[in-house]
Structures are given as structure tokens and as C-alpha cells.
Amino acid sequence: MTYISRKTQAVIDLTALQNNYQYISTLAPNSKTMAVIKANGYEHGAIEVAKALEEQVPCFAVAFVDEAIQLRKAGIKTPILVLEGPFQESDFAIAIQHDLSLMLHTAAQIAWLNNDKGTYRSDIWLKIDTGMNRLGFRVEDAPDVIALLTEEHRKKLIICSHFSCAEIKNNPKTAKQITQVKALVEQYACQYSMANSAGILNWPESHGHYNRLGLALYGVSPIEQCDLVEPLEPVMTLEAEIIAIRKVKAGETVGYGDTWQADRSSIIAVIAIGYADGYPRNAKSGTPVYVNGSIAYLVGRVSMDMITIDITDLPKVSVGDSVELWGKNISVDTVAKYSDSINYELLTRLSSRLPKTFINRG
């Protein structure tokens, strides 16, 4: 058993995860809601997340074949879609071996599929670029691409596209993307998938045969203001302990670069977490944390292994007390704003030295 001295950790609430999935699914009752667990489940622990959701979800989605193989080796039997598809022709053999579905978005991948001679029997997920300009075939090229598929493949066709700004309500570009995909779906009488978390929440007309639930699954909203996200529960709580408390005189500075100077006699607490754990180095003085039922604020620069907070006006605070950096009381969105970042990045940048504790409230 690994010995762990400090109490810095990410606590993952699997009950909140399950509740979020059930709630979001009710917003699109006529769709199958797949759970996106790429990037180690947005750094919540892909295997543990998959095991917690396996009885509920029709399909998981990951970015790479490698991520899918890890899930299969962990005993996950639910269908898995690989969003970035095959990187090389040999990925098809791996996909067949592990029963994976591959997103197809290049002419080379279509050629590899046709070279397979029928042993790849998964659905044909075809990525159509409707304006993201990242992956996929252009809309006007879709008929020629689909014509390259065998008749058997066309029977299992699922057209997929990705929104560039679904978080903006009534955005004309998003409306156009939906129209383009639905026209292809009508033409080829096939299934489709468009809606990500923002699409599920903001664009009910985008709900397809499959929706791709990512960020909102973890209780974090892709939309700044949306009443529909109120029931979501943060799945991750990032916490650490106070390891030292010291008095600072007025005029003294705290941390590297002397960026924060006390304007009065102050009491500073040192917390055992830093940018080596994934806490954002560019979090500014004034970034809130939660300690003993009160809000305190970051002072000075984030160090590799430590941060410092001003606890001068707080009730009794002691060495060993737990501090929430983000979670149920301090949203990761708030920390992201103070760090000139986004919630996605803060969640997925947590480092391998930060242990995770998984809880299930039954």
C-alpha cells in the first residue's frame, strides 16, 4: 500500500456523477446519451467513472484508441466510440479485437475501412465538418464520401458533427449547423449525433439519436448562465490541508516576486498544494478558497508545492484544517476566471501525483 503523508487530494463523488447523468438524460428523453470520458474522464478517473455508469449508459466516448483499450482491460464491456478515429490502418485491427467504434473523418480512413474487407462490423460514424473546421468532411463533399462506403456500411451510417459555439443561445451559425446535418440525415435516412453538453442544454432541436455528454456529466456547466444546470452536482472536490500559520507585519510581502504586500498585520496560512499538483500557477491574489465554513483569499504567487491565503479575519483556523480549492462551495468556474483559464483546462490539468479518493453515497 502506498504511504501518503499529506492530505492533498481530489475527492470524486460517484453518486453525484450518476445523478448528473440521470438528470441530463431526462432533458433529451428521445436520445441515447453517451458519456464522454476522454482525458481520464476529464481527470476524474476514467475507469472508476465508467464502472459507476456502466449500467446506465448506452455508449462511452474517448479520444484515442489507447484510452479505449485501457477501459477494455479494466473490464468495461459497454460500447466505446473513439472520437478522433484511427491514426493508422492497424488501428482497425485493434478496434475489431476490442469491439470499438471509430469516428471516420479523412479519405485515408475511408480507404482503410474498405481495405478491411468486412471484418469491421461496428457502426460507421462519419464526421461532417459544418463549421468547426477541425475534423471531418465538408458538407458539400459528403455525398461523394458516402458513395465510397459499401452498401452494408451505409446501412450502419451515423452522421456526426461538432458545434463551435453551442454555448451561445440563438446563434445563427449553430442553427445552420443543425440544418445542414438534418438535411443529410433526411437524404440518407441515417442516425446522427450533434449535441454536446451545450447542445443538450441550449439546443433541443439538435438532440439526435446519440448525444455526447461531456463537461456537464461532471457537474460543471459549459454555459455561464443557464437555469437547466442548477440541479447539477460538482463531482470533484479539490482539497488540501493547512501545514503552517504565520504572522506577517504590515509592509511585508508574501511569496515569490513580492507580488502581495500586507497593508496591515496579517495572519497567513500555508496550504500544501501547488502548480505541480495542477492548481493553476496564474491564479491571482484574491482567488477564493473555502475553509471551516468561511471564504478566504489567495495572497502571493502560487508555488510549485504551496499556496498562501489570508486568514486574518476568519474564526479559529488551525494547522491540519482542510481547505477546499474547488468543489461544492467554490466552483471551478470561479477559480478559472481568477486564473485566466477555463473550467475544462483546470479539471484536466491535475497531475499524476495528486491522489483521488472515490466516494459513493449509495
Q: Which residues are annotated as a binding site for substrate?
A: 134, 304
- The backbone torsions φ and ψ at residue 236, rounded to the nearest 5 degrees and listed phi first, read -105, 135
DSSP, collapsed to helix, strand or coil, labels residue 324 as strand
Q: In angstroms, how far is CA 206 from the centroid of its own chain?
A: 20
Which residues have a catalytic role annotated?
Answer: 38, 256
Single-letter residue type at 302? V
What is the β-pairing status of strands 157-160 and 137-138? unpaired
CB neighbours of residue 278 within 10 Å? 22
Within 8 A by CB and 6+ apart from 189, the residues are none
C-alpha cell at 113: 475501412
Other CB atoms within 10 Å distance of the CB of residue 323: 25
**For residues 186 and 26, what is the distance between their CA atoms, to the nearest angstrom?**
26
- Rounded CA gap, 142 and 159, in Å? 10
Give the C-alpha separation, 108 to 114, whole Å.
10
Which amino acid appears at position 258 of this protein? D
What is the distance between the alpha carbons of residues 50 and 66, in angstroms, rounded to a whole number? 15
Dihedral through CA 115, CA 117, CA 121, CA 124, nearest 10?
40
- In angstroms, the Cα distances linking 252 to 200, 236, 260, 272, 282 are 51, 36, 9, 22, 22
Letter for the amino acid at 116? Answer: D
